Structure 1
């Protein structure tokens, strides 16, 4: 049976796999650890070498969470929480490129 692109992107009901809740909880916990680590670097103006690992942890866990949500349904991107994540990614990208604004943008993102 062939599925249309709409059925693949927006399945009804949304996709789910056994253990998904625990994968979500684990990724969120890792993401929070990463956010705390980069927060110290951004807010206390530390050298990037001291919080670079946390930056990567935050990035990887955030991407993994986004992929998980998109796999459930692409409708996530059009919901407020999905749009909020896109805005956060843009703001953190600006923070990475403009160090003078890191603390302010970090606080705004949180």
Structure 2
């Protein structure tokens, strides 16, 4: 028997809010990477990444409550763990950063049937 579809919520301006949050998120990633190369503040970059990332996660989860049960949503939790690792253990910051970049790119560009596959 097919699984019933989850409700999807929307509001006017949601797409533009998501675009703005993604832009701020990319700025945070650049700040974080620059700080790893000695040109900036690691805590500032991490803060911007986490704040914008949590905002996008909240929006995605509000819009589609099953989001955290999917690979894409669960992947965000993995990425938060990598940011926490990089912030807590500075010697792991560079490997964590590159893992984040690779993991995020693979996840973002995977086909929808992969990103939205339910884990549980």
Task: Flag whether TM exceeds 0.5 (same fold).
Answer: yes
CA contact (8 A) 2:46 2:83 kept: no
Larger RCO, structure (CA 8 Å, separation 6 or more)? 1
Once the two structures are TM-superposed, the CA of residue 53 in structure 1 deviates from its matched residue by 2.8
More off after superposition, 15-24 vs 51-60: 51-60
| 2:12 aligned residue (13, 18, 23) | 18
Structural RMSD (CA): 1.8
Which structure: larger Rg?
A: 1
Question: What SS class does the counterpart of residue 103 from structure 1 fall into?
Answer: helix
Match of 1:3 in 2: none
Once the two structures are TM-superposed, the CA of residue 101 in structure 1 deviates from its matched residue by 0.9
State how far apart, in whole Å, the 2-side matches of 1:103 and 1:83 are.
Answer: 22
Question: What SS class does the counterpart of residue 41 from structure 2 fall into?
Answer: helix
State how far apart, in whole Å, the 1-side matches of 2:99 and 2:41 are.
Answer: 22
- For these two proteins, the number of residue pairs brought into alignment is 97
State how far apart, in whole Å, the 1-side matches of 2:94 and 2:13 are.
Answer: 36
Q: Report matched runs for 1:27-42 at 5 Å.
A: 27-42=21-36
Q: Report matched runs for 1:26-105 at 5 Å.
A: 26-42=20-36, 44=37, 46=38, 50-105=41-96
